Amino acid sequence: MEIFREVEAIKNSFPYACVTIGNFDGVHLGHQMLFAEVVQKAYRHHGTSVAVTFDPHPLQVLRPEGIKLISNCAQKIELIGHAGIDVLVIVPFTLQFAATPAVHFVDEILKKRIKVQELVVGYDYAFGKGRAGDINFLQKQGQEKGFAVTVVEAHYENEMLVSSTKVREMIVAGRMEEAKKLLGRFYQIRGEVQIGKQRGSKEIGFPTANLHLEPEDLIPRIGVYVSQVICDGKCYGGVLNIGYNPTFGEEKLVAETHIFDFNQDIYGKPIKVNLLQFLRGEQKFSGVQELAAQIGRDVVQAKQVLAAQQNELALSCEEKFNS
């Protein structure tokens, strides 16, 4: 996939450009339907499938409180690439850009730079100043300026609307199985392993890989999860604790994963952690011994869950978005 991180970097037109536009946070099943439609249309015309997105997420700029992201920009790029898109255009989003009239976006970006032939958008998409660039606007622009507009209707899974908002709700509630149904994959956190307090190995008997959580990251429900850890192209079972270590009187939010059957030094290495199932909320224990006993029970329960999902997890580990 060819990536342009600013519109001005596009110097040549794309053969029969089939385009979709969106924030695509999470790249959930609804987004994947848009990409599939664009890829199919481009294939029919021996053309180019193009996705246009924004970084940072517009609500991070427009809302004082920002927005918690299901997937950061790097993960979004990876997932869009896996969807088969030929070209990704990442438009830098600023307050100045937010004031851009919708017709200017169509004329200067879609027509002049990308030379759109067909446009595919979701049923509720709108952009531009005052969100004036809605479906009706785009359809009229297409008629006037010579490009077809296809609207992809809402997608439901088990009568539940697939949307980034709904995915966030599921994750914040710790409902990972339901989030997976909307995402089409496990919810995943990722990052480089940090050096922590090292209590896991020295005091508790369960060494952990610690991940730093960014302020914009979507934090799942505080507690313990069954996890699948991807490190150096291999997959391992584990238990993940997201919380504040109340037993030790700490206040900093941490994500600590105990990886089963693993004893490598991975400080500074990137890992990916899929969250499979919420086990329990975070608790304050009387001391290290009581905490260690509970972690032992968590491990037993997690291994039972992993064993029950063995075939699916093996497939998940082989899938390209875990590479």
Give the active site residues: 256
Task: State the first-to-last Cα distance of the chain, in angstroms, to the nearest integer.
Answer: 16
Is omega for the bond preceding 56 within 30 degrees of 0, making it cis? yes
Are 255 and 209 spatial neighbours (Cβ–Cβ below 8 Å)? Answer: no
Tell me, rounded to whole angstroms, the distance of Cα 26 from its chain centroid. 3
Torsion of CA 252, 221, 320, 15, to 10 degrees: -100
Strand partners, 259: 238
Q: Which two tokens stand for residue 309?
A: 């999902």
Residue ranges in the chain assigned as alpha helix (H): 29-44, 58-62, 73-82, 95-98, 102-104, 135-145, 164-172, 176-183, 199, 288-308, 310-318
Beta bridge partners of 272: 190, 230
Dihedral, CA of residue 127, residue 128, residue 129 and residue 131, to nearest 10: -20
DSSP 5: S
